[in-house]
């Protein structure tokens, strides 16, 4: 009996001493893992339109109570769009498993509601603070309105940068949605997967990189993710510049390093650099982001980190070189199928359309390719039509951007909304005129895309016949049938057959009335066919 008693006490002492030891081994979670509203480890982190990440329940509560909190940095989040941050969710889970910490628990709505209501009460009270606090705010506002001092040469003329000759081909998994799928056995057109602003050549440095001389050794401590993240958050601007330039250089050619560095913590720090008012910091931060985005494994992580909204801001208002890299980054991120809808929802379409008029050729080209890949999604096509993209794109058919613009028009023509807008905007005449003026020295892809767009517009539309005849399209198509590429000849042949067909029941059609729009809607709707 005594032995049994001692054994019981011995077992008890083991259990009581082991529990505290395990608890002491737990480490404090990263700030990025904690919801700024609930203060808890996030179970379902989501990215909002303004780029911050919160627990989903916290966002739901704030939206239900119509309350927008003021965050620690003084900003107010925009809850209009919510996207799951799966990369951060996985990082939190991995951290819990590696440290032995408890996994995040399901958040109770009522407890979050109580916290938010306290924040609302505190916010109301702070608004009634003394006039001295108001004067301080006015002073800071006045200081912020002063133009920033730009200590950089980034806005000066850039040195020429080589473009890689080893172009890789990209075939979108959404190609069945595009007009190219209308013709059987027609492979998608190849596109380079690297934006034109990217160069792997160390000699292709720009004026924004002149602060440092050589690329740091990738094996040194400067390439460590934690070191980069902490340096990027330094209050010393010079230290930020040195760090972001080093990050840009070490990610230029090292593919493995790009993947290992692309963590929630570093992306969060890089996001703040995108918002910097120092051109050198901003430019090199966007360039580093382009480098990170080249790896397929990183593309989804980057978008879900909340970095797209500030990236769009750079495209709209950054210095010229920053805008080049921002357009390139959006193009690179748009290659990922799961990013296409999110980038459109976050508001990139309008700035990309505007960037087609940029003075920079790189910005124009990458913006057009970004629009092409984004317009493979039907939801983005509808948005582009509502933004008036058709008229903008048609006016650019006579520019050097025509080839890429036609790619976007082809995708728009594959949707009912886009087809209707194109027909209303006199696209048939514009496209036939483009084909008529193209000479033998022009790129074959431009002629092919013209024919492809016309071919898509011809499906199920009596109205197309009238517009094509008015533009004397048959004679143009005959030339294409004789001299065009195999892809273009096949489509031209089919359109000619359609134009030669007799009208149904031998009845004559008043094409003038159709062109004037009197009966076009009836005919168009009555004969519409999905292909």
pLDDT in 10s for each residue of the chain, 531 residues: 444 444 444 444 444 444 444 444 457 888 888 999 888 899 999 988 777 889 999 999 998 888 888 887 777 888 888 888 888 888 888 888 888 888 888 888 888 888 888 888 776 655 544 443 444 444 334 434 433 333 333 332 233 333 333 333 333 333 333 444 333 333 344 455 677 766 665 544 454 544 443 444 444 434 578 888 888 888 888 998 999 999 999 998 888 889 989 999 999 999 999 988 899 999 999 999 999 999 999 999 999 888 999 999 999 988 899 999 999 999 999 999 989 999 999 999 999 999 999 999 999 999 999 999 999 999 999 999 999 999 989 988 888 888 889 999 999 998 889 988 998 888 889 998 888 887 555 677 788 888 889 998 888 777 888 888 888 888 888 888 888 788 888 888 888 888 887 444 444 445 444 444 443 333 333 333 333
pTM: 0.62
Give residue 13's pLDDT.
41
Cα 52 to chain centroid, rounded: 16
DSSP annotation of 415? S
Give residue 385's pLDDT.
93
Give residue 126's pLDDT.
53
As given in the structure block, the two tokens for residue 139 are: 């002073």
C-alpha to C-alpha distance for 216 and 238, rounded to whole angstroms: 17
What are 55's strand-pairing partners? 45
Give residue 8's pLDDT.
43
Give the CA distances from residue 474 to residues 67, 405, 500, 523, in Å, rounded to whole numbers and listed in that order. 61, 24, 9, 21
Nearest by Cα to 514 from 449, 468, 447, 480: 468
Nearest by Cα to 67 from 106, 115, 19: 115
Give residue 49's pLDDT.
77
């Amino acid at each position: 009996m005594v032995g049994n008693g001692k054994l019981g006490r011995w077992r008890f002492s083991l259990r009581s001493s082991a529990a505290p030891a395990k608890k002491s081994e737990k480490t404090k979670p990263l700030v990025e893992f904690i919801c700024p509203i609930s203060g808890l480890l996030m179970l379902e982190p989501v990215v909002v339109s303004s780029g911050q990440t919160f627990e989903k329940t916290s966002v739901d509560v704030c939206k239900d109570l119509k309350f927008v909190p003021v965050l620690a940095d003084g900003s107010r989040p925009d809850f209009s769009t919510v996207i799951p941050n799966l990369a951060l969710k996985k990082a939190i889970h991995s951290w819990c498993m590696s440290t032995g910490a408890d996994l995040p628990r399901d958040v109770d709505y009522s407890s979050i509601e109580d916290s938010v209501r306290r924040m609302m009460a505190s916010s109301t009270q702070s608004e009634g603070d003394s006039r001295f606090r108001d004067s301080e705010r006015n002073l800071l506002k006045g200081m912020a309105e002063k133009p920033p001092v730009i200590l950089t040469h980034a806005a000066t003329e850039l040195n020429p940068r080589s473009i890689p000759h080893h172009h890789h081909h990209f075939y979108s998994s959404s190609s069945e949605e595009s007009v190219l799928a209308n013709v059987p056995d027609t492979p998608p057109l190849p596109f380079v997967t690297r934006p034109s602003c990217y160069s792997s050549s160390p000699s292709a440095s720009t004026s924004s990189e002149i602060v440092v001389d050589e690329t740091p050794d990738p094996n040194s401590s400067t390439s460590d993710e934690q070191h980069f993240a902490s340096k990027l958050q330094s209050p010393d601007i010079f230290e930020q510049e040195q760090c972001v330039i080093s990050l840009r250089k070490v990610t230029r050619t090292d593919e493995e390093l790009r993947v290992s560095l692309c963590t929630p913590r570093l992306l969060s720090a890089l996001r703040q650099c995108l918002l910097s008012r120092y051109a050198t910091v901003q430019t090199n931060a966007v360039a580093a982001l382009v480098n990170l985005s080249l790896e397929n494994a990183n593309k989804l992580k980057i978008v879900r980190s909340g970095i797209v909204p500030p990236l769009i801001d750079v495209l709209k208002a950054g210095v010229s070189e920053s805008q080049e890299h921002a357009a390139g980054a959006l193009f690179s991120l748009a290659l990922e199928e799961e990013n296409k809808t999110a980038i459109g929802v976050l508001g990139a379409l309008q700035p990309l359309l505007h960037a087609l008029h940029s003075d920079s050729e790189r910005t124009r080209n990458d913006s057009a390719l970004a629009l092409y890949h984004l317009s493979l999604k039907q939801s983005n096509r509808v948005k582009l039509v509502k933004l008036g993209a058709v008229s903008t794109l048609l006016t650019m058919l006579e520019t050097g951007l025509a080839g890429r613009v036609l790619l976007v028009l082809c995708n728009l023509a594959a949707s009912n909304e886009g087809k209707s807008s194109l027909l209303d905007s006199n696209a048939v005449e514009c496209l036939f005129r483009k084909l008529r003026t193209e000479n033998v020295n022009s790129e074959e892809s431009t002629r092919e895309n013209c024919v492809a767009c016309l071919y898509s517009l011809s499906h199920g539309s009596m109205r197309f016949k009238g517009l094509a005849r008015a533009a004397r399209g048959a004679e143009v198509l005959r030339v294409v049938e004789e001299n065009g590429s195999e892809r273009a000849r096949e489509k031209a042949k089919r359109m000619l057959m359609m134009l030669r067909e007799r009208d149904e029941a031998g009845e004559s059609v008043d094409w003038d009335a159709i062109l004037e729009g009197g009966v076009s809607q009836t005919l168009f709707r009555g004969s519409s066919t999905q292909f």
